[in-house]
Amino acid sequence: MYTIGKLSKNTGVTVRTLDYYDEIGLIKPSSKTEGGHRLYSEDDVMRLERVLALKYMGFSLEQIKDILENSTSTWQESIQQQLELVKREQERLQVLEQALLGISYSIEIEGEINWKIIFNIIQLYQQDPEDALQQYKDYLNDDEMKKIMDMNVQNMSEEDIRRWMKVIHDIKNNLNIDPASEKAQQLVESWLNQAEKMYGNDEELLGDMWEALQNLKEGIAFYPMNKDVIQFIERVFIVKEELKK
């Protein structure tokens, strides 16, 4: 058992904070000494650990209280729940990181802000990763979505993202050129090379992503791609296939 002073010393949580958690019923000591001093058990310590972990992830005390009241009680299950929450937060932060880097380079290259994407990011701050990526579920399965997120973090340096933005910017500046021209073919070839590099030459994944792009036309996961860029690439692909016949 731990007195409030000893618990404060061992954890770095102030006595004042522990008093407040006791007052609002978030962490109440399991027992008291004969003199009325509060004593915290190991279960209380584990509850404190969970509170601080959830608080660190941005949950309000009210949300934390609700989570704890409706969760399992064993220590192992508690740790697993926290790991799942951390994993979900990492997924959301990965999406945000790529989107923010993309917007940063877009402003640098194009000199303007895509406000629709800004609004999407604002919505993303208030969503679970699963909700934010829901629109892609009809085209990409869970394994593919995870693969994309992992690839974005593991395979894409900031320079890779910059090249991706530059390739798409070049296409946007040449949307009206003849799709049969050498320049149009080179632009799409550069785009395809970058896409293959980012997604590991996984033909099935690239095929599913292309289907998603054709149907959705734009979105935070594919920024700065938009319907005009997609339609340009489609026209070039059609011409390329016709030339093969």
H helices of 36-181, where?
42-56, 61-69, 75-110, 115-124, 129-132, 142-154, 158-172
In a domain, 78, yes or no: no
Asked which of 13, 36, 71 is the last residue of a domain, the reply is: 71
The H or E element spanning position 31 is strand 31-32
User: Are 198 and 163 a contacting pair, CB within 8 Å?
Assistant: no
pLDDT computed for residue 84 by the predictor: 78
In a domain, 80, yes or no: no
Top-ranked range on mean pLDDT: pick from 61-65, 181-185, 218-222: 181-185
In this structure, the answer to whether residues 195 and 227 fall within a common structural domain is: yes
In this structure, the answer to whether residues 109 and 194 fall within a common structural domain is: yes
In this structure, the answer to whether residues 141 and 182 fall within a common structural domain is: yes
In this structure, the answer to whether residues 61 and 93 fall within a common structural domain is: no
d(CA 53, CA 47): 10
d(CA 18, CA 14): 6
In a domain, 26, yes or no: yes
Domain, as residue range, for 203: 85-244
Considering its fold, how many domains does the chain have in total?
Answer: 2
In this structure, the answer to whether residues 113 and 233 fall within a common structural domain is: yes
In a domain, 79, yes or no: no
d(CA 158, CA 238): 32
Question: Could you tell me how many helices (H) and strands (E) the chain has, helices first?
Answer: 12, 3
In a domain, 208, yes or no: yes
In a domain, 121, yes or no: yes
Bond into 179 cis (ω within 30): no
In this structure, the answer to whether residues 102 and 207 fall within a common structural domain is: yes
* Domain CATH for 33: 1.10.1660.10
Over the stretch 53-71, which tens digit does the pLDDT of each residue have? 888 777 788 888 888 887 6
> What are the structure tokens assigned to 23, written together?
């007052």
pLDDT computed for residue 116 by the predictor: 64
End-to-end CA distance of the chain: 81
In this structure, the answer to whether residues 108 and 191 fall within a common structural domain is: yes
pLDDT computed for residue 142 by the predictor: 72
Residue 152: pLDDT band (50, 70, 90) is: low
In a domain, 152, yes or no: yes
Residue 168: pLDDT band (50, 70, 90) is: confident
In this structure, the answer to whether residues 64 and 104 fall within a common structural domain is: no
Q: Is residue 51 scored above 60 in pLDDT?
A: yes
In a domain, 154, yes or no: yes
Q: Is residue 183 scored above 90 in pLDDT?
A: yes
Angle between helices 227-244 and 158-172 (to 10 degrees): 80
H helices of 155-217, where?
158-172, 182-198, 203-216
In this structure, the answer to whether residues 161 and 94 fall within a common structural domain is: yes
More confidently predicted of 241 and 22: 22
